[in-house]
Amino acid sequence: DLHSFPTRRSSDLDLGREPWHIFDGASGTGNLWESNNKFPHYIGFYNPTPILIQSISFNFLLSGGHYYSPTSYRLEYSQDGSNYYSLSSQTQSSNPSSISFTYPVLAYFKYYRLYMTEGGRSGYIAVNECHVSGYYETTSYTYYWNTSVT
């Protein structure tokens, strides 16, 4: 259950806007993760059993007519939490309401993160929710899960 995964962050944030909010199933200004330092920013998650992501999406805060989302970003993976590799990089001309990645079967990893280098609103990034679907790696079974399903 990804709701209980510890998340990692790169920068300071406002109290009450901790990283775990991206998996809490609620959205809005009180239920989000916000990074308010200079770029780069990242947010991610870890599972001790390697997981294979089939799809992942991040939804961003809309406030004052602006999305607090990146315009330059990449999805990264790691086995050790120190050495990260890029799965996909994207650059957009405007701040999107959400970012989605979809993948065929690649490999199982323990760490995933969204690494952001530009965008936001005055340097702020605010993620309302993250939805992930994929598989757990085990000795004899592969378990499917989807955080969008309650």
Contacts of 99 (CB under 8 A, 6+ apart): 57, 58, 60, 69, 70, 73, 90, 114
In the chain, where does DSSP find H-type helix? none
Mean pLDDT score of the chain:
78
pTM: 0.81
pLDDT range class, residue 128, cuts 50, 70, 90: confident
Q: Which whole number is the average pLDDT over 106-119?
A: 87
pLDDT range class, residue 98, cuts 50, 70, 90: very high
Distance CA 2, CA 43 (A): 14
pLDDT range class, residue 108, cuts 50, 70, 90: confident
pLDDT range class, residue 105, cuts 50, 70, 90: low
Selection from 12-26, 46-60, 66-80 with the highest mean pLDDT: 66-80
Is the per-residue pLDDT at 129 higher than 50?
yes
pLDDT tens sequence across 57-94: 999 988 888 898 999 999 999 988 889 999 889 998 89
52: closest CA among 98, 99, 87, 9? 87
